[in-house]
Amino acid sequence: MTVRATKRGAERTSLEGERADVLVCGASFAGLAVARELAHTGADVLILDRYAIGERQTSACACPTPWLEAMGVTGAIRQELPYMSFTTPHGSVRYRLPWSWSSFDYRELCRLLFEQTDARFDTAKVEGRGRDLPGGEIEVLTDRGAVRAPLVVDALGWRRVLAHPHYQPPEGPLTRALEVHPPHDGSGDALDVWVERGITRRGYGWRVPAADEARIGACSYDPLQHVKEPTVALAARLGGEPLGFQGNWIPHRLRPAVQDGVLFVGDSAGHCFPLSAEGIRPAFYFGIAAGRELRAVLAGERSREQALRRYARFSAGHRHAFGFALRVQRLIPALPPRLLTLVLKVIGRQALVDRSFGWYLDVTPPAFAGAEPRPAAPAAEREPVAA
C-alpha cells in the first residue's frame, strides 16, 4: 500500500481560525503556479493540500518543453521527446514537432515550483466552503478546522470542492484515464499515441518514455467506459509490466472560472484541453493569469470584484479554442479508421505539422509566463554578487 506524507497524530494540530491574505487550496500544477506569481508581494499566502508537496503524481507528466523553460523547472526533465507518433489499426505516422515534449519528475517539478514561492504550506483535506464572513472574508472548511482569507483559490482538481454542486462522475463531462509505470531503458524520442477502437472506443492510448520508466496508459472520453483492461493490454503489447497504477478523472469542458468569490484554476475550472487531455500547461497558464489578478488586488490597483471579473473573462475568452478541441474530440471516434489514418498522413506534411502544432501551443503560449515581470526578491534575499 502506498503511504502518503500527510500529517498524522500529534502533528495534526488544529488550523481553526487560521487566516491568510491568500488561501490557495491545492498544491499541484495550478495551485503552485498561482502561489509562484504572488512571491515577494509581501502577502501572507497559505497553500493547503491533503498530501505533502509533490507527493502524489497525478499524470504522465509530459509537457511542452518551452513551458518547462518558462516556469524555470527544466531541472525536473527526465527525457525530451521531439517527435510524436500516431498509430491506428491501418498504419503509423511520425511527426517532428515544431517544439518538443518533455517528460518530467513530478516531485522535483513541484519542489522547484514551490521554491519560487514564499508561501506557507500545510497539509489538510479541504472539505468545502464555509460562511461568508464580515469584511468580505471567505471561510474554508478543512479536516483540521476552518481557515479564512479574503482571496481564495480552488486548485483542487476536477472535484471543484469549493463550488456547488460538485462534479460527480460518471455523469459529468469527464474523461477517465489510467496508466502504469513499467521500467524503461531510456530509449525513444517520441510521445506515442494509439487511436484504436480495440484499445478504447472513444479515446486513445499512450506511451511517454521517462528515462528509467515508461508511462503507459489509456483514456476514455466516455466516463462510463472503464480503462483498466485497455491499459493493462497496451502495457502487455509494449512488453511492460502493469506496475504503479495511477488514474484520475479529467474534465473536458470549460467551467466557470469564478463562483461566489472563489477563483477556480486548472482542472477545477475545466482548463484541461479536450481531445488531448493535456492539463499541465493550461494549469500553469491560467494559474499565472489568476495570480496576476490577485497581485493587482494586493497592490491596491484593483478591487477583488474587478479582479474576479477580469479573470473570469480571461478564462471564458478561451472558449472557442476549447470548444473546437471538444468538437474534434467528438469527431475523431466517429471517423472510419481508414479515413482517420488518411487524415493523419495528410497532416503529417511538415508544413501542416508546424501549423497545427504551432496553433495548439499558441492556445496557451509559453511567452505568457514572462509577459509580465514578477516582483523581485528583496535585496537581503538575493544571492550576493560575486566580486
Ligand X SMILES: Cc1cc2nc3c(=O)[nH]c(=O)nc-3n(C[C@H](O)[C@H](O)[C@H](O)COP(=O)(O)OP(=O)(O)OC[C@H]3O[C@@H](n4cnc5c(N)ncnc54)[C@H](O)[C@@H]3O)c2cc1C
The footprint of ligand X (CB under 6 A) covers 26-31, 49-51, 56, 58-63, 125-126, 155-157, 159, 161, 177-179, 208, 217, 246-248, 250, 266-267, 272, 277-280, 283
CB nearer to ligand X: pick between 209 and 247: 247
**CA–CA gap between residue 99 and residue 86 (Å, rounded):** 17
The torsion of the CA quartet 130, 131, 134, 136, rounded to 10 degrees, works out to: 60
Look at residues 73, 60, 70 and name the one whose alpha carbon lies nearest to residue 99.
70
Backbone dihedral angles phi then psi of residue 57, each to the nearest 5 degrees: -60, 135
The answer to whether 194 touches 234, Cβ cutoff 8 Å, is yes
Nearest approach, Cβ of residue 40 and ligand X (Å): 22
Q: Of 129 and 341, which CB lies nearer to ligand X in the complex structure? A: 129
Q: Minimum CB separation from ligand X for residue 11, in Å?
A: 16
Q: Which residue is nearest to ligand X (CB)?
A: 279
- Minimal distance, residue 300 CB to ligand X, in Å: 29
Residues 6+ apart with CB under 8 A from 131: 139
- Cβ closer to ligand X: 181 or 295? 181
The grid cell for 212 is 528509467
In the complex, the smallest distance separating the C-beta of residue 287 from ligand X, rounded to whole angstroms, is 8
Of 95 and 206, CB closest to ligand X: 206
| Nearest partner of 154 among 36, 247, 38, 34, judged by Cα | 34
For ligand X, the closer CB: 210 or 341: 210
What does DSSP say about strands 203-210 and 190-194: parallel, antiparallel, or unpaired?
antiparallel
CB of 381 to ligand X, least distance (A): 27
Q: Name the minimum Å distance from CB 385 to ligand X.
A: 36
First to last CA, the chain: 53
**Cβ nearer to ligand X, comparing 88 with 231:** 231
DSSP string of 305-372, one letter each residue: HHHHHHHHHHHHTTHHHHHHHHHHHHHGGGS-HHHHHHHHHHHTSHHHHHHHHHHHHHTS-GGGGGSS
Cell 509562484 belongs to 36
CB of 247 to ligand X, least distance (A): 5
| Closest CB to ligand X among residues 60, 312 | 60
Answer for the pair 123, 7: CB distance below 8 angstroms, yes or no.
yes
